[in-house]
Structure 1
Amino acid sequence: MTFTVGIIGAGRIGRLHVDNLRAIPQIRVKSVSDIATEHLEAWAIDKQIEVLTTDYHDLLNDPEIKAIFICSPTNTHATIIKEAGAAGKHIFCEKPVSFSVSETEEALAVAENSGVKIQVGFNRRFDPNFRKIRTLVQEGEIGTPHILRITSRDPQPPGIEYIKSSGGLFMDMTIHDFDMARYIMGSEVVEVSAHGAVLVDPEIGEAGDIDTAVITLKFSNGALGVIDNSRSAAYGYDQRLEIFGDKGSAQADNNRATNVEVSTVKHVSKEKPLYFFLERYTQAYIEEVTEFAAACLENNEVSCNGFDGLQAERIARAAKQSIDTGVPVKLGQSIEY
């Protein structure tokens, strides 16, 4: 059985999904839309894309296309989700669903009422290391969870124009960690306290954002969480996680080109972390689209649904409110900005 999909947005992530989807035998990537296509013509021919268009409605109106991947800018996601739901297309949407919790709720309601599947692109859930830790927690290997620690630091900050349209550190970057916290702990976040600073680039502060943050979380099961973020780690892409419980702990370290450690009289050394997210999460990106395709083909539940996307946005909003007010924020008390 062949399952035909279309991609909306042919930036870095959209093109990555094309590569990964084309490796799945049952999948046919028929169409790609982008606001500009001139620079994509040679690429589309190489990838055997049959239709290249500037109007994503061409994909929604194509009866052969059963699912669409929304890889366009965030401010377009909610509208496309509603239109895709109305067109009966299954939906894979990159994070976040929107910059507004109420807008996300409205879009997800349309998709749910349409009976289509919707998966949100929190790729880190599909990383083999983090999945192993979640399994250990679920199986009780570390006992009752007490503390979760997540370190997430980029190797360098994005450009200022991206910062201005990103929705802020919490909605753009930390939102992955908020989702990971729920995923690993298996419990909802009920309170958020955040501290932020501009320590990497003054222009980020001038753009109204922060580049460094520490966030503490309280979970409904009584456990605590700590997340630390930076837009710039000189040594590479720093992605670590530890879960501590009453029977022990489990840690996921950084991925490196090799796991060789050199010990001499002068020093003990190992290679730096892989430099960026496309290298670090190669397998996770493959797994997330493979599982979405399987859910559509076999009518299974998706692994990361719209509610997961909504909850991560709610936590991000609460963190922003905590920064602005200087006090902890309970999830039910966060407000729109």
Structure 2
Amino acid sequence: MKKVKIAIIGTGRIGKMHIENIANLREYFELVAIADSHNSELEKLAEKYQIPVFTKNYQDILNNKDIEAVLIASSTDTHAKIIIDAAKSGKDILCEKPIDTKIERIKEVLAAVKENDVILQIGFNRRFDHNFHKIHEYVAAGSLGDPQIIKISSRDPEPPSLDYVKVSGGLFSDMMIHDFDMARYLSHSEVTEVFANGAVLVDPNIGNVGDIDTAIVTLKFANGALGVIDNSRQAVYGYDQRAGVFGSKGQAFSQNDHLSSVELDDAAGGHLDKIPTFFIERYTQAYVDELKSFHTAITEHTEPAVTGFDGLQAVKIAQACLKSLKTHQPVVIK
């Protein structure tokens, strides 16, 4: 198997997770460099994982002709520029979502990717979750007949910091954007119309900085199906991730993964183990499979499993939801 020489730009929480995963995928990748302009312990991180090159300037990575691919895990506001720069340097790219929060800027990014003939995969890791992928396969095989209702629940165990909320772009762009992509993935169709309701039910401070923490969105799809997504910033019982498709021949619905499948029965009733409380814990294998898929796209010169177009569509839906929330009207997506 060909090893791909890869570098990571951004070594925060997500970046460190990717470093760990790539270190365990030595037959797929050789991690040769990391870059982060803000991490004061970059040298220690490089030493821990035996990464030969570390730098505060990501351009050093792009100027290194031996590096074939980059994984961008830096802050959202840097994604577009780094993707364009990486494309111009001929690197294949895996970038965390979103590409950008502006539609026109995303189109500029996709144009640069196309012009330089490089791979761009977007980090919608939930597509690689074993539960959701199985539903996707059932729909593709026709096992459920014509999809009629798509339902997605996605609830975080606790709200993020207010500093994060201020720069995240809002619940639709930061949190529910994963579910917009999942809705397209499970339905095998495009979203044509949304209607959004939102409220501040968890933390008044989130409302004070102009965001919401609870939302329900209804969707219409090009194939005629209807959908509903609900989000909350706080589920006290853990990281709640469920989805299902109801069709003309049946339904497929995924429950939450639990820390174990053991059920305890006693005088008080039946008890299941807790569900995960952290997204990295919940999607551990999905993140690994995402990297394997990226490797396949590079080495077999195929289209990535999650394309730049997928990234664009999710942002279009997010912006339509924000408009719907403000106007209290359905919004058609063009």
- CA offset at residue 251 of structure 1? 0.8
Of 69, 76, 88, which aligns to 1:67? 69
Aligned to 2:15: 14
State the distance in 2 between where 1:140 and 1:320 align: 33
Q: Is the 8 A contact 2:28 2:292 kept in 1?
A: no
Write out aligned runs for 1:62-141 (5 A).
Answer: 62-141=64-143
Q: Deviation digits for residues 94-140 of structure 1, max 9, x if unmatched?
A: 00000111111111111111100000000000001110010011111
Matched position secondary structure for 1:28: strand
State the distance in 2 between where 1:187 and 1:29 align: 37
- CA offset at residue 56 of structure 1? 0.3
Write out aligned runs for 1:179-194 (5 A).
Answer: 179-194=181-196
State the distance in 2 between where 1:169 and 1:290 align: 29
State the distance in 1 between where 2:115 and 2:273 align: 50
Paired residue type of 2:6:
V
Q: Is the 8 A contact 2:88 2:116 kept in 1?
A: yes
- Identity between Structure 1 and Structure 2 (%): 50
Paired residue type of 2:23:
R
Aligned to 1:166: 168
Aligned to 2:60: 58
Deviates more, 1:264-273 or 1:241-250: 264-273
- CA offset at residue 265 of structure 1? 4.1
State the distance in 1 between where 2:271 and 2:109 align: 49
Paired residue type of 2:141:
E
Matched position secondary structure for 1:327: coil
Of 225, 234, 238, which aligns to 2:240? 238
State the distance in 2 between where 1:164 and 1:38 align: 24
Paired residue type of 1:175:
I
State the distance in 1 between where 2:39 and 2:230 align: 39
Q: Is the 8 A contact 2:71 2:94 kept in 1?
A: yes
Q: Deviation digits for residues 27-79 of structure 1, max 9, x if unmatched?
A: 11111000134323222101011111110000110000111111111111111
Q: Which runs of 5+ in 1 are unaligned?
A: 333-337
Write out aligned runs for 1:1-337 (5 A).
Answer: 1-24=2-25, 25-332=27-334
State the distance in 2 between where 1:37 and 1:180 align: 32
Segments of 4+ moved more than 3 angstroms: none
Q: Deviation digits for residues 264-293 of structure 1, max 9, x if unmatched?
A: 343222122111101100000000011101
Aligned to 1:335: none
Paired residue type of 1:6:
A
State the distance in 2 between where 1:36 and 1:169 align: 26
- CA offset at residue 19 of structure 1? 1.6
**Count of residue pairs the alignment pairs up:** 332
Q: Is the 8 A contact 2:191 2:221 kept in 1?
A: yes
Aligned pair in 2 of structure 1 residues 244, 39: CA closer, same or farther (>3 Å)?
Answer: same
Q: Is the 8 A contact 1:171 1:316 kept in 2?
A: yes
Matched position secondary structure for 1:119: strand
Structure 2 length normalisation: TM-score? 0.98
Q: Which runs of 5+ in 2 are unaligned?
A: none
Deviates more, 1:20-29 or 1:259-268: 259-268
Deviates more, 1:106-115 or 1:150-159: 106-115
Name the Cα RMSD after superposition. Answer: 1.0
Q: Is the 8 A contact 1:21 1:290 kept in 2?
A: no
